[in-house]
């Protein structure tokens, strides 16, 4: 120490020279180094983790980190001569790799790395961030040849191209959406990136890629199907409504569009069958055959009655004489109807099993009686064209209602009239017939002269005939009638008409069946719902028109307005939907006649809605 002190004390110039040499040497280590870490190339690799953690701990059993060092302008032989040194607390393990050098370094203690090469010099690189345990980083080490012509700086980027065979596939780079089908993106050379391709009904494709100098990195993928199809049938009959996972898709037979692979619940519904439900599994790229067996919920039924009687089933017209069809399980109301007859009906309980034949008694005739006489007697009696003997006579078992009575006797005018028979009552008539002889020869012989005496004609008129006083063409005739209308649908409706006319005039009329179910139907297509077979109808009509006197006492009536007949079918859920095939809405046109009979007004009209539904309307009321 004494010697050193004396040396410093007595040789200050020599000491200063030595100090300056050390400082210059330290400063020049980086200044003259031909090695450098490429600016901005040091990066943390997201998701990168050292696989064998137990193997990569330092001498103090502390975790290490991995730095993947890519090199530029450093041949493989020279890369092997690189030496990496840290501070005293830092341990570094070097692992050569093809085209790069990996170093494992104490994560907690490392603050810088001395990179040394016997020919390229030494470069001290201070780490820009603290290293985390077992994490992975990357950087680029460059050799700068001072004697080489550098030229313009080459771009340090290259293209990554990703394409899929599906045009609508979504492509992601580093979890960022970049486009559909086929994309390209420029990325820094020496960097590693993740990629992913997603497409509905296909399996997701993913991976990672490193960007290098030279040709662009290209990733092409043919997507693997993650979908299949369902081919659905029902037995013993198709035509059932199909639901897949409670979504209505069509009617059997039905093949679905693409469905993602997995399990699906198929439900089928058909009128007269019990609902069926079953689960099916769709496999990638395959068509699954889905056959569902449906249990019938009906019985084949034959209904027989009198050949002239109309058959009604649950208040719906089915035909005349005989009807064959299907009926669901349960109780049904069957009727046989016939004009002027008492309806025959029965409740029938249908139980699943064998076919059923139902016989309904013929409707019983509703009758009255006619006691008819004439002056002179022995006139031939005809009722509705059928001969019933001679007057006087009591005729039994005449159907109630209106009939045409005709009395015929030679030498007398034919008498015709309409009679009305009431149930269980006797109609008593005595009619006087008018003579048609042109001469009664009462001869008085007075010599050669013969005088023929013509008898005075006897005026005879039927006792039941009503004579009304003719009105002049300027007289006004007013009326009000109650109306009933019938169509072959069948459909009955009722209403009122009133009007007034001289030579010409006007009238208005309104009709309804007073069932307004048609206004409460749900807005669903008829062919997409299951129905029970029960139905109701709504009829409305409003008409105004013109009247013209044809001749006393007959008026012509022509009218137009708006009308509708809505048939509402009951669904299995208790709702009603509109049945388009038997629903008519639009213009109502009418034509008919009005008759004045004393103080009564009688009308007969034909009405059509859009020329698709026709009904006959009869009205009876008062006229003044």
Rg (CA), the chain: 55
* Helix, strand, coil percentages for the chain (3-state, nearest 5): 5, 60, 35
pLDDT surpassing 90 at residue 562 = yes
Give yes or no for a cis peptide into 253 (omega within 30° of 0).
Answer: yes
531 vs 604, more confident: 604
Fold (topology level) of 372-465: Immunoglobulin-like (2.60.40)
**Structure confidence by residue, pLDDT tens digits, 437-457:** 744 434 333 334 434 343 443
* Among the ranges given (55-64, 223-232, 394-403, 601-610), the one the predictor scored with the smallest mean pLDDT: 55-64
Residues 6+ apart with CB under 8 A from 55: none
pLDDT on residue 442: 40
pLDDT surpassing 60 at residue 237 = yes
Q: Would you tell me how many other CB atoms lie within 10 Å of the CB of residue 205?
A: 19
For the 157-221 domain, the top CATH level (class) is mainly beta
Nearest residue to 569 via CA among 539, 541, 529: 529
CATH architecture for segment(s) 227-293: Sandwich (2.60)
pLDDT (average), residues 308-316? 92
**Structure confidence by residue, pLDDT tens digits, 187-207:** 999 899 999 999 999 999 999
Token output for 535: 């139905």
pLDDT on residue 449: 40
pLDDT on residue 225: 95
Going by the DSSP 8-state scheme, the letter that residue 570 receives in this structure is E
pLDDT surpassing 80 at residue 6 = no
pLDDT (average), residues 11-36? 52
303 vs 148, more confident: 303
pLDDT on residue 147: 72
* Among the ranges given (341-345, 415-419, 451-455, 532-536), the one the predictor scored with the smallest mean pLDDT: 451-455
Burial class (CB in 10 A: 0-12, 13-18, 19+), 242: buried
Confidence of residue 245 (pLDDT cuts 50, 70, 90): very high
Whole-angstrom distance, CA of residue 38 vs CA of residue 477: 115
Question: Which CATH code, of 3.50.50.60, 2.40.160.20, 3.40.50.970, 3.40.50.720, is assigned to 477-623?
Answer: 2.40.160.20
CA of 101: how far to CAs of 37, 69, 105, 212, 606, in Å?
A: 13, 5, 13, 16, 104
For the 298-364 domain, the top CATH level (class) is mainly beta
**Structure confidence by residue, pLDDT tens digits, 381-429:** 999 999 999 999 999 889 999 999 999 999 999 999 999 999 989 999 9
Residues 6+ apart with CB under 8 A from 52: none
Whole-angstrom distance, CA of residue 427 vs CA of residue 384: 16
pLDDT on residue 278: 94
Whole-angstrom distance, CA of residue 614 vs CA of residue 594: 19
* Among the ranges given (175-184, 307-316, 350-359, 446-455), the one the predictor scored with the smallest mean pLDDT: 446-455
Instruction: Output the average pLDDT for the chain.
Output: 85
Whole-angstrom distance, CA of residue 457 vs CA of residue 419: 28
pLDDT on residue 48: 82
CA of 614: how far to CAs of 146, 157, 159, 494, 584, in Å?
A: 109, 85, 79, 15, 11
**Structure confidence by residue, pLDDT tens digits, 490-499:** 789 999 999 9
Share of the chain above pLDDT 90, in %: 60
Residues in the chain: 624
Going by the DSSP 8-state scheme, the letter that residue 74 receives in this structure is -
Whole-angstrom distance, CA of residue 500 vs CA of residue 479: 6
Give the start-to-end residue ranges of the domains of the chain.
1-26, 33-143, 157-221, 227-293, 298-364, 372-465, 477-623
pLDDT on residue 272: 87
pLDDT on residue 553: 85
Whether 429 contacts 398, CB under 8 Å: no
- DSSP H helices, 53-210, are 76-79
> What is the helix (H) or strand (E) element at residue 30, kind and residue range?
helix 12-31
Whole-angstrom distance, CA of residue 208 vs CA of residue 174: 9
pLDDT on residue 558: 95
pLDDT on residue 155: 81
pLDDT (average), residues 66-91? 91
What does 189-240 look like in DSSP terms, one character per residue? TT-EEEEEEE-TTB--EEEEEE--SSSPEEEEEPPPB-EEEEEEEEES----
**Structure confidence by residue, pLDDT tens digits, 508-520:** 999 999 999 888 8
CA of 209: how far to CAs of 103, 159, 177, 246, in Å?
A: 21, 11, 16, 44
pLDDT (average), residues 505-534? 86
* Domain 227-293 and domain 372-465 have a common topology: yes
Which residues, listed in sequence order, are joined to residue 547 by a DSSP beta bridge?
505, 557
* Among the ranges given (137-151, 301-315, 395-409), the one the predictor scored with the smallest mean pLDDT: 137-151
CA quadruple 105, 106, 110, 112: dihedral, nearest 10: -20
CA end-to-end span of the chain: 156
């Amino acid at each position: 120490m004494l010697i050193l002190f004396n040396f410093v004390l007595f040789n200050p110039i020599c000491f200063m020279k030595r100090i300056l040499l050390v400082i210059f040497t330290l400063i020049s280590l980086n200044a003259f180094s031909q090695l450098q870490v490429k600016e901005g190339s040091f990066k943390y690799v997201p998701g990168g983790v050292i696989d064998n953690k137990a193997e990569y701990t330092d001498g103090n059993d502390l975790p290490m980190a991995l730095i993947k060092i890519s090199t530029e302008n450093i041949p493989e032989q020279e890369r092997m001569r690189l030496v990496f040194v840290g501070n005293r607390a830092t341990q570094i393990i070097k692992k050569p790799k093809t085209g790069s050098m990996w170093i494992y370094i104490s994560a907690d203690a490392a603050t810088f790395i001395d990179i040394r090469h016997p020919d390229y010099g030494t470069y001290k690189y201070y780490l820009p961030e603290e290293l985390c345990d077992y994490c992975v980083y990357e950087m680029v080490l460059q050799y700068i040849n001072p004697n080489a012509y550098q030229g313009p700086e080459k771009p340090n980027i290259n293209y990554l191209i990703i394409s899929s065979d599906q045009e609508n596939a979504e492509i992601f780079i580093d979890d960022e959406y970049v486009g559909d089908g086929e994309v390209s993106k420029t990325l820094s050379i020496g960097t590693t990136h993740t990629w992913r391709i997603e497409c509905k009904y296909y399996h997701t494709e993913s991976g990672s890629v490193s960007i290098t100098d030279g040709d662009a990195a290209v990733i092409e993928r043919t997507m693997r199907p993650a979908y299949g199809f369902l081919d659905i049938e029902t037995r013993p009959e198709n035509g059932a409504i199909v639901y897949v996972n409670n979504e209505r898709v069509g009617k059997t037979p039905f093949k679905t569009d693409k469905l993602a692979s997995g399990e699906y619940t198929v439900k089928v519904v058909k009128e007269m069958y019990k609902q069926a439900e079953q689960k099916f599994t769709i496999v990638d790229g395959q068509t699954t055959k889905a056959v569902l067996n449906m249990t019938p919920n009906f019985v084949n039924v034959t209904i027989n009655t009198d050949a002239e009687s109309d058959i009604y089933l649950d208040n719906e017209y089915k035909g005349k004489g005989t009807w064959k069809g299907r009926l669901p399980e349960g109780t049904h109301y069957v009727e046989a109807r016939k004009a002027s007859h008492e309806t025959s009906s029965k409740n029938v309980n249908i139980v699943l099993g064998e076919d059923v034949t139902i016989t309904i008694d013929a409707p019983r005739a509703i009758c009255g009686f006619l006691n008819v006489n004439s002056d002179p007697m022995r006139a031939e009696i005809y009722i509705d064209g059928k001969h019933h003997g001679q007057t006087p006579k009591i005729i039994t078992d005449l159907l109630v209602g209106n009939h045409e009575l005709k009395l015929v006797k030679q030498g007398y005018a034919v008498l015709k009239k309409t009679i009305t028979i009431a149930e269980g009552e006797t109609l008593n008539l005595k009619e006087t017939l008018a003579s048609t002889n042109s001469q009664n020869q009462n001869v008085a012989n007075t010599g050669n002269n013969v005088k023929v005496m013509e008898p005075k004609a006897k005026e005879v008129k039927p006792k039941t005939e009503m004579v009304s006083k003719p009105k002049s063409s300027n007289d006004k005739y007013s009326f009000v009638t109650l109306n009933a209308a019938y169509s072959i649908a069948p459909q009955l409706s009722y209403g009122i008409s009133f009007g007034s006319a001289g030579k010409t005039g006007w009238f208005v009329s309104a009709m309804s069946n007073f069932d307004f179910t048609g206004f409460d139907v749900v807005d669903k297509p008829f062919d997409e719902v299951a129905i029970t077979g029960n139905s109701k109808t709504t009829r409305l009509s409003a008409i105004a028109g013109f009247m013209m006197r044809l001749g006393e006492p007959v008026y012509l009536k022509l009218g137009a307005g708006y009308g509708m007949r809505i048939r509402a079918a009951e669904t299995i859920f208790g709702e009603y939907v509109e049945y388009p095939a038997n629903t008519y809405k639009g213009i109502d046109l009418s034509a008919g006649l009005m008759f004045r009979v004393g103080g009564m007004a009688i009308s007969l009209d034909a009405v059509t809605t859009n020329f698709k539904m026709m009904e006959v309307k009869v009205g009876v009321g008062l006229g003044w």
